[in-house]
Amino acid sequence: MTPHNEADKGAYADTVLLPGDPQRAEWMAQTFLEAPRCINRRRYALGFTGLFRGKPISIQATGIGVSSFLIYAHELLDYYGARTLIRTGTCGSLTAKAKLRSLVISQSAQAESAQSGQVFGLYKAVAGPDPALLSCALAKAAELGIDHCAGLTVCSDIFYHPEGRGRFADAQAAGALAVDMETSALYRIAEHFGARALSICTVVDNIETGELTDYSERQDLFTDMSRLALAVAVEGG
């Protein structure tokens, strides 16, 4: 176990899906995994391991933002030996291409994260996913008929920023599709440990229009994201 995780070594599968919300982690495990067992309850950052199409898969909640995310990702990679991390998160749309309730697959992530920048030197830099996972995700999304787009995303430390949506003007000019609070850290820490990573997010609000989904409907919105992430986990090499 670690200071933040009560699971024993060997409790996590090689491939771990990473939702931020512990309720989503529990829903994903109970909905999609065969014989899921809860392996971590510490700080209510719920973690589960079960089977999907006969392959061991784990799901671990990470909380919100780079600071919380990096704790769980680091421990999964360094202590528990995970080799593939797939983020199953939420994001805010920066363009009409990323429609509310659709998926955004991050082909590259620009960091606006001073916190992860201090560790990885990635502030304002661009990081990317594992090519095989990305290729598999794009192919499976098309095959499954899942509404999605793929491209540049932005990772921010601050949800309620005093500059409001204006702070994303440069990112939008560069063609960024969406903003979240974890993806660049995911890609950089995976690179640091020689692991594989991919970020798939569901659009739950639109930064430009102010449209947003209600939290009460969000678990139902995550079916496509979960199906895609699990397919990639099994078929992504």
CA distances for 134 relative to 102, 150, 200, angstroms: 17, 9, 10
Residue 181, C-beta contacts closer than 8 angstroms, at least 6 positions apart:
64, 65, 66, 69, 155, 156, 157, 159
Q: What is the pLDDT of residues 2-60, one digit of tens each?
A: 889 999 999 999 999 999 999 999 999 999 999 999 999 999 999 999 999 999 999 99
15-235 belongs to which homologous superfamily? Nucleoside phosphorylase domain (3.40.50.1580)
Quick one: average pLDDT of 97-107?
96
Coil, strand or helix at 213: coil
Distance CA 29, CA 37 (A): 8
Q: Which residues are catalytic?
A: 205
Burial 190-203 (b: 16+ CB within 10 A, else e): bbebebbbbbbbbb
Q: Which helix (H) or strand (E) holds 201?
A: strand 196-206
Mean pLDDT taken over the chain: 91
> How does residue 117 score in pLDDT terms, banded at 50, 70 and 90?
low
Q: Which of 207, 213, 180, 3 is nearest to 87 (CA)?
A: 180
pLDDT for the residue 164: 66
Check if the beta carbon of residue 43 is closer than 8 Å to that of residue 1: no
Which pLDDT tens digit goes with each residue over 123-179? 556 789 999 999 999 999 999 999 999 999 999 887 777 766 667 888 888 889 999
Half-sphere exposure (Cβ direction) of 78: Cα atoms closer than 13 Å = 11
Looking at residue 93, its pLDDT comes to 96
To 10 degrees, the CA torsion angle through 38, 41, 45, 51? -10
Which pLDDT score, from 0 to 100, does residue 82 have? 98
Write out pLDDT tens, residues 189-211: 999 999 999 999 999 999 888 88
CB of 187 within 8 A of CB of 86? no
pLDDT at residue 61, rounded to an integer: 99
Can you read off the two tokens belonging to residue 13?
């599968």
